[in-house]
């Protein structure tokens, strides 16, 4: 049953959980650029204060160390709660399965409670992982997914599926103004070298002259979206009254082998490609159907993948140079 559309609201002050993470830090920055005050909550489990260091002197920005699986309290008015706290890469959530499940369940419960208390708009960061290893391609929001709940990736997939159900329940039974975005593979500056996801891994390997490790035969596909485009889509949802879920991602689909070869070209590296075992339950294909985002939010990605990858490579190269300078 479709949830009713609420009227768009004025956003003056926002809370961003996981705001010191890769995606969260970009959300904080874009909100500040729009004149919105930002309270950034993070326990620094996978995020880092360095990601928001450049925001510390900006008026209206506040960084608070907080674990949202515990009690969450934010003094003063709040117009928007963006729940983006969670390990998001397989490397992280496989290391921290309990923490991942807790932030998807207790963290969602507590942040929904904050939104209800403040009368705020609430946007949940869900994920393309709710589709699992999809049997429908591309994936529309109506697809229920193909998830193994007891597989190694289940801790993340099911945490997000539960958080979607809880967010929907708060909207339907408590009247909370909620929205759900399902975010597909996003990349860009401020990803960690040791993130474990393909793009930072490939870029780090190429820049250091090591072989690029491609899982399986490299034929599995992903759709990659530059971070500025993803954030624009998320904020379009946040400033709307739509419930979702809405896919936010780039339909530009490519194989992992092609992605590795592209990064070798962009870095002008002599690195070779090595094939490693495919992880358990690794999706074979992944591409969003973005028809709904285009219709409801008038949103579509603007940054071509080659340009986004070039910017990302340049950022990682700068980080590597700075690290070597400090060591030297």
Q: What is the pLDDT of residues 301-322, one digit of tens each?
A: 999 999 999 999 999 999 887 7
pLDDT at 42: 98
Q: Are 25 and 51 in contact (CB under 8 A)?
A: yes
pLDDT beyond 50 at 108: yes
Length of the chain: 328
The alpha helices in the chain, defined as continuous H runs, are 22-33, 90-95, 97-118, 154-174, 198-207, 227-238, 256-267, 291-297, 305-327
pLDDT on residue 241: 92
Domain extent, residue 53, equals 13-191+224-251+286-303
Whether 25 maps to a domain, the answer reads yes
Give domain status of residue 3, yes or no: no
pLDDT at 295 over 80: yes
Q: Distance from first CA to last CA of the chain, Å, rounded?
A: 61
Check which CATH number belongs to the domain holding 41 and give it.
Answer: 3.40.50.720
Q: Phi/psi of residue 79, each to 5°?
A: -100, -20
β-partners of residue 115 are none
Q: What is the pLDDT of residues 47-103, one digit of tens each?
A: 999 999 999 999 999 999 999 999 899 999 999 999 999 999 888 999 999 999 999
Dist CA 124 CA 104 (whole Å): 10
- For the cut 50, the answer to whether the pLDDT of residue 1 exceeds it is no
In a domain, 107, yes or no: yes
Residues 6+ apart with CB under 8 A from 122: 80, 81, 83, 111, 112, 115, 167, 170, 176, 177, 178, 179
Amino acid 279: pLDDT: 84
Q: b vs e for 68-94, b when ≥16 Cβ sit within 10 Å of the residue's Cβ?
A: bbeebebeeebbbbbbbbbbbbbbbbb
Q: How many domains does the chain have?
A: 1
The structure's pTM equals 0.94
DSSP 49: G
Q: Is the pLDDT of residue 327 over 90?
A: no
- pLDDT, the chain, mean: 94
Residue 323 lies in a domain: no
Q: Distance (Å, rounded) from C-alpha 82 to C-alpha 40? A: 10
Per-residue pLDDT for 149 more than 80? Answer: yes
pLDDT at 19 over 90: yes
Residue 263 falls inside a structural domain: no
* Catalytic residue (choose from 131, 156, 170, 187): 156
**Would you say residue 281 lies in a domain?**
no
Count, in order, helices (H) and strands (E) of the chain: 9, 13
Residue 45 falls within a domain, yes or no? yes
pLDDT value for 2: 57
Kindly tell me the burial class for residue 150, based on how many C-beta atoms sit within 10 Å of its own C-beta (0-12, 13-18, 19 or more): exposed
Q: pLDDT value at position 71?
A: 86
* Mutual angle of helices 22-33 and 227-238, in 10-degree steps: 60
The predicted model gives 286-306 an average pLDDT of 96
Question: Taken in order 115, 16, 306, 266, is the CA torsion positive or negative?
Answer: negative
Residue 47, in any domain of the structure: yes
SS3 call for 305: helix
Q: Is 226 a catalytic residue?
A: no
Query: Which of the four pLDDT bands, split at 50, 70 and 90, describes residue 4?
Result: low
Q: Rounded to the nearest 10 degrees, how much is the dihedral formed by the CA atoms of 204, 159, 86, 202? A: 10
């Amino acid at each position: 049953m479709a949830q009713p559309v609420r009227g768009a609201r004025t956003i003056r002050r926002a809370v961003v959980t996981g705001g010191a993470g890769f995606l969260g830090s970009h959300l904080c920055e874009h909100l500040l650029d729009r004149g919105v005050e930002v309270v950034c909550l993070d326990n620094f489990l996978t995020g880092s204060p360095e990601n928001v260091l450049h925001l510390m002197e900006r008026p209206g920005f506040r960084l608070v160390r907080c674990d949202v699986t515990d009690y969450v309290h934010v003094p003063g008015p709040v117009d928007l709660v963006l729940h983006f706290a969670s390990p998001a890469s397989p490397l992280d959530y496989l290391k921290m399965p309990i923490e991942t499940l807790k932030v998807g369940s207790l963290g969602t419960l507590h942040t929904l409670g904050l939104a209800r208390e403040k009368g705020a708009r609430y946007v949940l960061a869900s994920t393309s992982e709710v589709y699992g290893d999809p049997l429908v391609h591309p994936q529309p929001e109506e697809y229920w997914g193909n998830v193994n709940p007891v597989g190694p990736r289940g801790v993340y997939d099911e945490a997000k599926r539960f958080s979607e159900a809880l967010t929907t329940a708060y909207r339907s039974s408590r009247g909370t103004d909620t929205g759900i975005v399902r975010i597909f593979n996003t990349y860009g500056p401020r990803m960690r070298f040791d993130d474990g996801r393909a793009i930072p891994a490939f870029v780090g390997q190429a820049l250091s002259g090591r072989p690029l490790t491609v899982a399986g035969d490299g034929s599995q596909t992903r759709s990659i979206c530059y971070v500025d485009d993803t954030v624009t889509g998320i904020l379009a949802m946040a400033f709307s009254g739509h419930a979702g879920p809405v896919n936010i991602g780039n339909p530009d689909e490519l194989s992992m082998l092609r992605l590795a070869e592209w990064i070798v070209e962009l870095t002008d590296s002599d690195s070779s490609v090595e094939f490693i075992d495919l992880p358990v339950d690794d999706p074979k294909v992944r591409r969003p159907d973005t028809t709904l985002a285009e219709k409801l939010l008038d949103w579509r990605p603007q940054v071509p993948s080659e340009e986004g990858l070039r910017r990302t490579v340049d950022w990682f190269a700068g980080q590597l140079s700075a690290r070597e300078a400090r060591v030297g």
